Amino acid sequence: MDIARTPANPDGNIEMADAAVEPKAPPEIRREDYKPFPWLVPETRLDFDLGLDSTRVRSRLTVVHNEKSPRSSTIRLNGDGLTPTSVKVDGEVSRAYVMDGDDLILTLDDNAHEIAIETEIDPSANSQLMGLYASSGMLCTQCEAEGFRRITFFPDRPDVLSTYTVKMSGPKALFPILLCNGNKVAEGEDGENHWAEWHDPWPKPSYLFALVAGDLVARTDRFTTMNGREVELNVYVRDGDLERTEHAMESLKRSMKWDEEVFGREYDLDLFNIVAVSDFNMGAMENKGLNVFNTKYVLADPETATDGDYDGVEGVIGHEYFHNWSGNRITCRDWFQLSLKEGFTVLRDQLFSQDMGSEPVKRIEDVRVLRGVQFPEDSGPLAHPIRPDSYREISNFYTSTVYNKGAEVIRMMKTMAGDEAFRKGTDTYFDRHDGEAATCEDFVKSIEDGAGLDLTQFRLWYSQAGTPKVTVELAHEGDEAVLTLTQTVPDTPGQTDKKPMPIPLKIALFDRTSGKHSGEELIVLDKASDTFRFGGFAEKPVLSINRSFSAPVTIQRDIAGEDLVFLAAKDDDPFARYEAMQDLMVGHLVPAAKGELSDETREAGRKDIVGALKAVIEDESLDDLMRGELLSMPSQTYISEQIEAADPGRIFEEREALKAHIGSALKDELHRLYERAEKVPYSMSAEAKGARKLKTLILVYAAASDPQKAAELAAHQYDHADNMTDRQGALMVLTGIDSAERTGKLIDFYNRYEGNALVIDKWFSLQAMSLHPQVIEHVKALADHEDFTMKNPNRVRSLYMAFAANPHGFHAASGEGYRMIADLILELDPINAQTAARFVPALGRWRKMEPARSALMREQLERIAAAPKLSRDTFEQVTRSLG
């Protein structure tokens, strides 16, 4: 599509109007068009008269000419669906304003003015959950990225930093708790109403503004910072949820301590509040001093939260807290720089979780997310660099690429620099840019200077999309091991003929006889192809490469099955060991799904796999968390990524067949393992978590090999569970088996947890993810269940995200799964566009599928595209997916 380019409008706002060419297309915003805003807004005063159906907002902004920009006679204040009820400049009612679409443009004659605007909004009618909205009787806000403009007219861009003073008033009975950013500086009562005034001393962009009003209770604690600041900590929830906030609070304190110790970052206010809300588009939000969280990432107790949920709470609490420096103290100049705060903060939360639990297992989990979500994104129609060049709707760019690949890119810098030098780099970044709205380039330059690295060529990781592929060949010449590496960076939409990138690869060469290597080395492949020689090898060693997943690339290696068996048993890098095990299984399943296995190779492959798994079961040096990773099969998505024109049905069958084979071949070993694990009492120790992971994993294998026996075992585990991990695991297995136990336990689970939204979400998910042959009928019935609602994103995701991730349901050969997701997108789009658009990528994989399914998926995308009215979010995702 050819979009006409128009010069940036006179006031320098980077939003441009080019809609004329393609009537339906919202304008494309380009990174290269960035201009500073011509006005500074040193002070912002907001007055809220709060009501669920009607809230009046009065804003007073002081604006002064920005010296870094040519003098402008107008100011553009962004709005979204707002009508001003009063506009004043310097106290006088202004006639000199015009509306340009949703924005308000004022004429200003001088260098400094005071602008006062009133708006009125209806939080109850806000189903998009952006701006100010009502969530079960309370009021809360979500402003990132462009939600503030749904509250009041403002230069709603991250490079306009302002100091906020906010007065909120409302009925005391409805809103006993009134919260905002910063510190409460005054409060009072006024009949049935009460009010509070809050001041945030730290200048911030509008996307970090937050307000909460409601009937809430808090768990309160304290933290003393490294320089002796006494900080009051609160976790606010609804009455009745208080007992489930302990883990969140402990995670917060650990995050605060960790950031001091590892990054030297101290908290900078006397108060830190977290509020949990049940209607939320994302995981959580780092608003200054007032983080707003999806309840999913706050509430946890053993009865209702799994070990995975506990880890999620800790990780997200850490993530939002770490944003206080990587995001708030230093924010983004524009939204193209999103990975500046998100990539870095994801890395920080990953390192935090690694330090709190098992480092290798956390690394494996993170790589699994990257390969399961980001790699497919990078190889599909929505591929974009971690610093995108253009967008139509920024909400669509809160992607795994910006977040997870962004984190990997910074992790590579850390690997190349070493921990100490990397810390010098981050210190330089925080020193240099504190208080600023910075760019990815600022970050790279700081690491370069502080850590003493040359990152000239490395910057390509910010501009080139696509997952590099590294082909590995190992030869043996004389007493030398000769390693030849070749890289290609695949074409992605709008990008071809890419340059080679620096790829840091940790390697080790194992002596076959001793089973040892003489030290890990870091090599950097920075050419299209390069050769590395290593002396002192009488026989050809076994190569372990991309250890600890040092680079986010795919490795193409021609490696013998016996060498993979060797690495799966002996590699001292836990990640590489896991990788060898996965490769062994993928190397079997890919040709199997393509119909390329002879009976003989099938037998041989299965034998290798079973042998390697048996060694893992018997290896006493392993802890059970790690053992669980090594015993897990590669996911369907991961396998299908390795196949051109994949047939999900075939992959599914082969994967199930291998699962069944393993289940019966290792029946006794797995059974003994289960019996051992069953004896470990519930606790949060690594040992107990490992035992729980094994139990459910063993049920999964049993379900494939001996479903009736598995159903009995699972029912037993369900009945005797004293925690959600065991109970959910058992029920997950049961939902896939057509058995008497299935229905009974599903009913029991529902009755047991009725009214607990987060657990009922699990109940929906388990059924939508199930391997049951009638999964599509089940999902349809669940959509009509009285507890299902399109208004709550957690509930929508629990049913439909789970279903879209279930290859067995979503990819049903009839195309019915695709139609269901398309129907959902169309129905949800007017209610919650952001959430609706997040379902498009599932259909966007059409090019990767075998022809029949490919056509069916495309047909559904076209049906969505033809809808008379689509949100900007869904429009952009569908157009790119078809493009």
Q: Residue 392 and residue 520: Cα distance in Å, rounded?
A: 45
Q: Does 142 bind ligand PHE (CB under 6 A)?
A: yes
Residue type, 233: L
Q: Which stretch binds ligand PHE (CB under 6 A): 137-145, 506-514, 577-585, 636-644?
A: 137-145
Please identify which of the residues 320, 377, 579, 876 carries the catalytic annotation. Answer: 320
**Among Zn ion, ligand PHE, none, residue 398 binds (CB under 5-8 Å by kind):** ligand PHE
Q: Residue 439 and residue 64: Cα distance in Å, rounded?
A: 24
Q: Which stretch binds ligand PHE (CB under 6 A): 251-259, 315-323, 780-788, 838-846?
A: 315-323
* Cβ atoms of 236 and 295 closer than 8 Å: no
Least spacing, CB of residue 398 vs Zn ion, in Å: 9
As beta bridge partners, residue 106 has 75, 97
* Cβ atoms of 319 and 284 closer than 8 Å: yes
Q: Which two tokens stand for residue 94?
A: 């202004």
Would you say 267 or 638 has its CB closer to ligand PHE?
267
Q: Which two tokens stand for residue 154?
A: 């403002």
Least spacing, CB of residue 444 vs Zn ion, in Å: 19
Concatenated DSSP letters of 333-385: SSGGGHHHHHHHHHHHHHHHHHHHS-HHHHHHHHHHHIIIIIHHHHTSTT---
**Window 193-232: contact mask with ligand PHE (x via CB under 6 A):** ----------------------------------------
Q: Which two tokens stand for residue 714?
A: 């699972």
Contacts of 92 (CB under 8 A, 6+ apart): none
Would you say 138 or 282 has its CB closer to ligand PHE?
282
Concatenated DSSP letters of 765-799: HHHHT---TTHHHHHHHHHTSTT--TT-HHHHIII
Q: Does 332 bind ligand PHE (CB under 6 A)?
A: no
Q: How far is CA 487 from CA 412, 551, 617, in A?
A: 17, 12, 36
Q: Which residue is nearest to ligand PHE (CB)?
A: 282
Q: Does 833 bind ligand PHE (CB under 6 A)?
A: no
* Cβ atoms of 704 and 736 closer than 8 Å: no
- Asked about 286 being catalytic, the answer comes back as no
Least spacing, CB of residue 281 vs ligand PHE, in Å: 6
| Cα 568-571-574 angle, rounded to 5 deg | 85
Alpha-helical runs (H) found in 642-685 = 648-665, 667-678
Would you say 198 or 322 has its CB closer to Zn ion?
322
Burial 592-629 (b: 16+ CB within 10 A, else e): bbbeebeeeebeebbebbbebbeebbeeeebebbbbbb
Concatenated DSSP letters of 481-492: EEEEEEEE---B
Contacts of 816 (CB under 8 A, 6+ apart): 776
Would you say 410 or 703 has its CB closer to ligand PHE?
410
Least spacing, CB of residue 52 vs ligand PHE, in Å: 22
Q: Does 583 bind ligand PHE (CB under 6 A)?
A: no
DSSP 436: S
Q: Does 320 bind ligand PHE (CB under 6 A)?
A: yes
Q: Does 344 bind ligand PHE (CB under 6 A)?
A: no
DSSP 739: S
Least spacing, CB of residue 286 vs ligand PHE, in Å: 5
Residue from the set 11, 80, 342, 563 that interacts with ligand PHE by CB under 6 A: 342
**Window 339-378: contact mask with Zn ion (x via CB under 5 A):** ---x--x---------------------------------
Q: How far is CA 584 from CA 3, 510, 561, 606, in A?
A: 48, 18, 7, 9
Q: Which stretch binds ligand PHE (CB under 6 A): 141-149, 541-549, 627-635, 841-849?
A: 141-149
- Beta strand 271-277 with 290-294 is parallel
**Among ligand PHE, Zn ion, none, residue 349 binds (CB under 5-8 Å by kind):** none
Enumerate residues 347-406 that contact ligand PHE by CB under 6 A: 398
Least spacing, CB of residue 282 vs ligand PHE, in Å: 4
Sheet of 112-121: strand order equals 92-93, 84-89, 112-121, 55-65, 39-49, 162-171, 193-204, 183-190
Count CA within 13 A, CB hemisphere, residue 110. Answer: 8
3-class secondary-structure state, position 392: coil
Would you say 273 or 767 has its CB closer to Zn ion?
273
Least spacing, CB of residue 323 vs ligand PHE, in Å: 6
Would you say 319 or 384 has its CB closer to ligand PHE?
319
Residue from the set 282, 507, 714, 870 that interacts with ligand PHE by CB under 6 A: 282
Total number of residues binding ligand PHE (CB under 6 A)? 13
**Among Zn ion, ligand PHE, none, residue 776 binds (CB under 5-8 Å by kind):** none
Would you say 285 or 559 has its CB closer to ligand PHE?
285
Q: Does 655 bind ligand PHE (CB under 6 A)?
A: no
Residue from the set 45, 319, 405, 414 that interacts with ligand PHE by CB under 6 A: 319
Q: Which stretch binds ligand PHE (CB under 6 A): 138-146, 502-510, 766-774, 838-846?
A: 138-146
Q: Which stretch binds ligand PHE (CB under 6 A): 142-150, 328-336, 640-648, 714-722?
A: 142-150
Would you say 326 or 739 has its CB closer to Zn ion?
326
Q: Which stretch binds Zn ion (CB under 5 A): 136-144, 336-344, 424-432, 821-829?
A: 336-344
Count CA within 13 A, CB hemisphere, residue 516. Answer: 3
Least spacing, CB of residue 773 vs ligand PHE, in Å: 38
Residues that bind ligand PHE (CB under 6 A): 142, 144-145, 281-282, 284-286, 319-320, 323, 342, 398
Active site residues: 320
Residues that bind Zn ion (CB under 5 A): 342, 345
